[in-house]
């Protein structure tokens, strides 16, 4: 007689099996991942929601995972198991991780030499989950691309979002004067509490006039823009001579049309920001900064995420909708109940 068939351990995961709006997401049981020789399996405490997750589910992101897939680019949790060749990590350690994708699950397998760092002792899983993508984007933009200096005037658009708030916090740490814009006074109050020198609701005030007034007519030295559209176009009038314009994204729904004569006359530098793509394909040596500087900054409390929304796995679609509807201040996370 044959003995009983042993069933592989299962976990729950949020799965996208067809493209569309967030309502296509559902929860399925999947085999619990087993580490390869050089892998770490993390028991996920929380995973952060990012705009690329929304785009990936809709089929509108440059990276298109094969269906079905588990969304989620980043999270935090506890090391569950390690491969035989892994010496840097041990079960029980609290970590921040990146995924490509796969974070919206109770367990995830990560290469031990990949996007993995220790979670600061006084941070929650939710805070750790919201750190990596925003911090890496802000660091690449302000340090690698714009070379932000102390006493520079930094104008941050979309400052209440995750990547905007990280730029506000990093800019202050680097010694800049930070002007932050947004469209809601209550959300901007959080931005002020996170260190912005001045906040501007661009629905009720002209941010160009505010920037010019604060700088005696000179303008901002660095403009950090994840919004795009008319916001970046208008920002050229708020730019100082020789300013660096950082194109981080297009959450407004579309790209900008920049006037080349304005770029010429003001001596502007327009800089694209693609942190992950840069270190993967073009300048892998910059990845050392992420491996060394981001953990150091996290340990100092720089770019510590503000978590405004927490959702259980069953409400993953609601988590994505909250981001799309601009209800989130800082980050929204999905918390696992593994």
Beta-carbon-side half-sphere exposure of residue 318 (alpha carbons within 13 Å): 9
pLDDT at 288: 79
pLDDT at 278: 72
d(CA 197, CA 180): 8
Average pLDDT in the 302-315 region? Answer: 97
Residue-wise pLDDT tens digits, 31-57? 999 999 999 999 999 999 999 999 999
Q: 269 exposed, middle or buried (CB, 10 Å; 0-12, 13-18, 19+)?
A: middle
Which H or E run contains 214? Answer: helix 207-214
d(CA 334, CA 177): 34
Range 10-131+305-335 classified under CATH 3.90.180.10: yes
Average pLDDT in the 5-18 region? Answer: 88
Residue-wise pLDDT tens digits, 133-166? 999 999 999 999 999 999 999 999 999 999 999 9
**Of 259, 290, 260, 253, which Cα lies nearest the Cα of 275?**
290
Local confidence band at 3 (pLDDT 50, 70, 90 cut-offs): low
- Which of 3.40.50.510, 3.30.70.2190, 3.40.50.720, 3.40.50.460 would CATH assign to domain 134-277? 3.40.50.720
| In the chain, where the domains are located | 10-131+305-335, 134-277
């Amino acid at each position: 007689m044959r003995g009983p068939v042993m069933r592989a351990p299962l976990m729950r995961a949020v799965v996208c099996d067809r493209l569309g709006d967030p309502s296509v997401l559902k929860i399925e049981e999947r085999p619990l991942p087993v580490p390869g020789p050089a892998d770490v399996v993390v028991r996920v405490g929380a995973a952060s929601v990012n705009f690329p997750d929304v785009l990936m589910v809709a089929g509108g992101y440059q990276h298109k995972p094969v269906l079905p897939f588990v969304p989620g680019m980043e999270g935090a949790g506890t090391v569950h198991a390690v491969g035989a060749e892994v010496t840097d990590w041990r079960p029980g350690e609290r970590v921040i991780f990146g995924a490509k994708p796969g974070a919206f699950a109770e367990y995830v397998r990560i290469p031990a030499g990949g996007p993995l760092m220790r979670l600061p002792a006084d941070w929650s899983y939710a805070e750790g989950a919201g750190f990596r993508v925003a911090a890496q984007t802000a660091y690449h933009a302000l340090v690698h691309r714009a070379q932000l200096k102390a006493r520079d005037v930094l104008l941050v658009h979309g400052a209440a979002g995750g990547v905007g708030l990280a730029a506000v916090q990093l800019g202050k740490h680097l010694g800049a004067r930070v002007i932050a814009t947004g469209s809601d006074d209550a959300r901007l109050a959080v931005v002020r509490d996170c260190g912005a020198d001045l906040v501007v609701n661009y629905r009720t005030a002209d941010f160009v006039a505010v920037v010019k007034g604060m700088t005696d007519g000179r303008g901002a030295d660095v403009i950090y823009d994840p919004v795009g559209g008319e916001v970046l176009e208008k920002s050229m009038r708020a730019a100082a001579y020789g300013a660096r314009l950082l194109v981080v994204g297009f959450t407004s729904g579309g790209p900008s049309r920049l006037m080349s004569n304005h770029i010429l006359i003001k001596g502007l530098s327009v800089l694209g920001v693609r942190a992950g793509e840069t270190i993967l394909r073009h300048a892998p040596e910059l990845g050392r900064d992420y491996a060394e500087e981001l953990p150091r900054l996290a340990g100092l409390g720089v770019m510590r995420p503000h978590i405004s929304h927490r959702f259980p796995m069953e409400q993953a679609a609601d988590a994505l909708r909250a981001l799309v509807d601009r209800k989130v201040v800082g980050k929204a996370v999905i918390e696992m109940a593994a």
